[in-house]
Structure 1
Amino acid sequence: MDAFLHKSENRGHVKMGWLESRHSFSFGNWYNPNYRGVSALRVINDDLIDAHQGFGQHPHDNMEILTCVLKGTITHQDSMGNHGGISAGEWQLMSAGAGVRHSEMNQGDEQVHLLQIWIIPNERDAEPNYQQIRLDPHEQPNQWHLICGPNTNAPMHIRQNAEVKTAVIEQGRALPIKATQYINYVHVLEGSVQIGEYTLNAGDALAFLEEVEIKALENAQLIWFDLPEVKHQDS
């Protein structure tokens, strides 16, 4: 199997007071030329945010920003007029387009755990847009759940020829996976899985082209990025 294994321990690890983050790809002050993104996938930051802390108002443009909350509730506010909480089991997609300002704050008394994911759009300077859904794969395990895609019938619409799916696979069960675009990138959130000859644990990821089966060695949650063939771009 021709694949690229990205081990959790090779992620960038940043601890700045209230924020502990692990970067799958080069981000901020952490740079590694071997990890600059896969296809249009530019950022996967695995963040732990302390109580009553967070990211104050700051700008973005021309980026599809997907947030997956795993524990707690983060409060979002932006220059489009959106304001509210995103809790565990919910997903937020902010298409920054021509430009937007936003904040993400943990207003609760417990630590928040979330993933922030950036995907480079295929359309520049579009009108900013905000979408949010609840989709907890623990409630319907052993199947893929589409989070966002380029078609209007997807739960959330993304400005890129890419699909993002998630699944919980119970121990001993398996799911098939096949790219409909070009390349697969599978990131393990929890548990342990077998993909071909590769064993992946929480925080590990695998990029590959083949059609394969993913088997859960223990209960596992995954995110699957079905990505187009594009040249790497820096944000």
Structure 2
Amino acid sequence: MLTIRPAADRGHADHGWLQSWHSFSFADYHDPAHMGWGNLRVINEDFIAPRAGFPMHGHRDMEIVTYLLSGRLAHQDSMGHAVSIAPGEVQRMSAGRGVMHSEFSASDDTTHLLQIWIQPNVRGIAPEYEQRAFADAEKRGRLCAIATPNGADGSLRMHADARLYAGWFDGPETTTLALDPARKAYVHLVRGALRVNGRALQGGDAALLHGESRLSLDAGQDAEVLVFDLAP
């Protein structure tokens, strides 16, 4: 089964300094039909005004991945990190038994990012932080593992039964990924156009897969895509 979720169907929050599109129920946006997919709980596409952001706040028992698309993000947390995140870099934070953090746009232009929450398979652990740059060449015409349970192939290490891949596809570039039909998969097209198992997606669209044994990506037009292999 493959279901398309158009970008326009997502929830939207306008906070002035923040424009956010929610793939799943979040904050004031509640849709019982979209509470998550497998152990994927949140994908928020955020546009943060220059020098604005989220003041210090807390999380517990969640794997949080930030995928930066443009601008620059300043991160501080209760673990002692004070870092900057640039486009092409990915941040993984395990909230564990509790962490406080803030995120502010450190750019004179709008900062554009995806914030992703995945439910962990362990609870109450010490919080952790990890950050890595993934070059476009690593993602060109293929699915590059950027977060996995064991940190395979240089990916970030999540405490979750999930694998997250990123790829760029254009023209004749194509790839396939074997899926376990008992699990779930989720495809989020960040930008461009792409065909997923023969179905056309545009930027912001998503494909939800269950009971499928194969994922096929082709017919890309400057497409940047994230693919999630998820616990059911």
Same fold (TM over 0.5): yes
Counting aligned pairs with the same residue, the percent is 36
**Offset from partner CA, 1:91-124 (integer Å, 9 cap, x none):** 0000000000000011321110000000000101
Residues 220 and 159 (structure 1 numbering): CA distance in 2 closer, same or farther, change over 3 Å? Answer: same
Q: 1:161, CA displacement in angstroms? A: 1.4
Q: 1:63, CA displacement in angstroms? A: 0.3
Greater mean alpha carbon deviation, residues 165-174 or residues 121-130: 165-174
Q: 1:152, CA displacement in angstroms? A: 4.1
Q: 2:69 aligns to what?
A: 70
**CA distance in structure 1 between the partners assigned to 2:143 and 2:198 by the alignment:** 22
Which residue of 199, 213, 219 corresponds with 1:216?
219
| Paired residue secondary structure (1:9) | helix
| Paired residue secondary structure (1:28) | coil
Q: 2:156 aligns to what?
A: 156
Q: 1:210, CA displacement in angstroms? A: 3.1
**Offset from partner CA, 1:61-111 (integer Å, 9 cap, x none):** 000000000001100000000111001000000000000000001132111
| Paired residue secondary structure (2:109) | coil
Retained in 2: the 8 A contact 1:149–1:157?
Answer: yes
Retained in 2: the 8 A contact 1:194–1:216?
Answer: yes
Q: Which runs of 5+ in 1 are unaligned?
A: 230-235
Q: Which runs of 5+ in 2 are unaligned?
A: none
**CA distance in structure 2 between the partners assigned to 1:201 and 1:223 by the alignment:** 13
Q: 1:179, CA displacement in angstroms? A: 2.2
Letter in 1 for 2:115: Q
Q: 1:233 aligns to what?
A: none
**CA distance in structure 2 between the partners assigned to 1:140 and 1:161 by the alignment:** 22
Q: TM-score, normalised by structure 2?
A: 0.94
Q: 1:177, CA displacement in angstroms? A: 2.0
Q: 1:217, CA displacement in angstroms? A: 3.7
Q: 1:143, CA displacement in angstroms? A: 1.2
Q: 1:185 aligns to what?
A: 186
Residues 140 and 188 (structure 1 numbering): CA distance in 2 closer, same or farther, change over 3 Å? Answer: closer
**CA distance in structure 1 between the partners assigned to 2:139 and 2:206 by the alignment:** 23
Retained in 1: the 8 A contact 2:71–2:106?
Answer: no
Alignment of 1:14-33 (within 5 A): 14-33=13-32
Q: 1:144, CA displacement in angstroms? A: 1.2
Alignment of 1:1-235 (within 5 A): 2-137=1-136, 140-153=139-152, 154-180=154-180, 182-208=183-209, 209-229=212-232
| Paired residue secondary structure (1:225) | strand
**CA distance in structure 2 between the partners assigned to 1:201 and 1:70 by the alignment:** 17
Greater mean alpha carbon deviation, residues 147-156 or residues 63-72: 147-156
Letter in 1 for 2:101: H
